[in-house]
Structure 1
Amino acid sequence: MSEFKRISPADAKAILEQGNANIADIRDAMSFQAGHIRAAVRVDNDNLPEFMAATSKELPLLVCCYHGNSSQGAAQFFSAQGYTNVYSIDGGYEMWKMIAPDWCSR
């Protein structure tokens, strides 16, 4: 079974700058609407099957939550589903918006 990796927001930004990466944001809809990483997809139990069907298992998958705790469980789940390059962003969106405000959308 693949394992996910914990990654700093700066390292996550470097992956995104290379292109061809996916971002799963597991926060609630209101938090996501208030701000999220550019190109992120909000993922919950309702759209999980569609997200997985539309997302390459070979491309890097960055998982974001509020503070980097819940994303670890979600990253482990994606790893168990066959995603090969899964990363949990340490500090979550709260840290991300301080490190990379130019990569935030509303």
Structure 2
Amino acid sequence: MTFKHINATDCQKLMSEKSVTIVDIRDPQSFAAGHIVGAIRIDNDNVQQFLNDTDKQTPLIVCCYHGNSSQQAADFFSQQGFTEAYSLDGGYTDWPDK
């Protein structure tokens, strides 16, 4: 299994059509300054709990700063059993609803 890329427009469309899980892998200060509504901040301290508690059948969208680190994270989550993992192209920088 592998992850897919998704741009902000398609991400918003997917979010309006079905339930999704959004994770933000940026640092705590950046997350606190602004993030996608409903996003969960994930880091090494809480990733195992997240894996244990999250439905892997729900589409997962990974957000970072510019869409680079999220690719590795989306690949990781795909390997952990998420059936539909996406890397948000452009990251939070390109998110329109800030």
Band the TM-score falls in, shorter-chain normalisation: over 0.9
Q: What is the distance in 1 between the residues matched to 2:30 and 2:16?
A: 24
Task: Name stretches of at least 5 consecutive residues in structure 2 with no aligned partner.
Answer: none
Q: What is the distance in 2 between the residues matched to 1:78 and 1:21?
A: 14
Quick check: 1:50 aligned with 2:49? yes
**SS of 2:14's equivalent?**
helix
- As a proportion of its length, which structure holds more helix? 1
Q: What is the distance in 2 between the residues matched to 1:81 and 1:63?
A: 14
Residue 17 (structure 1) aligns with: 16
Residue 70 (structure 1) aligns with: 69
Q: What is the distance in 2 between the residues matched to 1:38 and 1:18?
A: 16
Please state how far the C-alpha of 1:20 moved relative to its aligned partner: 1.2
Q: What is the distance in 1 between the residues matched to 2:51 and 2:18?
A: 19
**SS of 2:66's equivalent?**
coil
Q: Where do 4+ consecutive residues of structure 1 move more than 6 Å?
A: none
Task: Name stretches of at least 5 consecutive residues in structure 1 with no aligned partner.
Answer: none
In the superposition, the TM-score normalised over structure 2's length comes to 0.96
Tell me the number of residue pairs that the alignment of Structure 1 and Structure 2 aligns.
Answer: 98
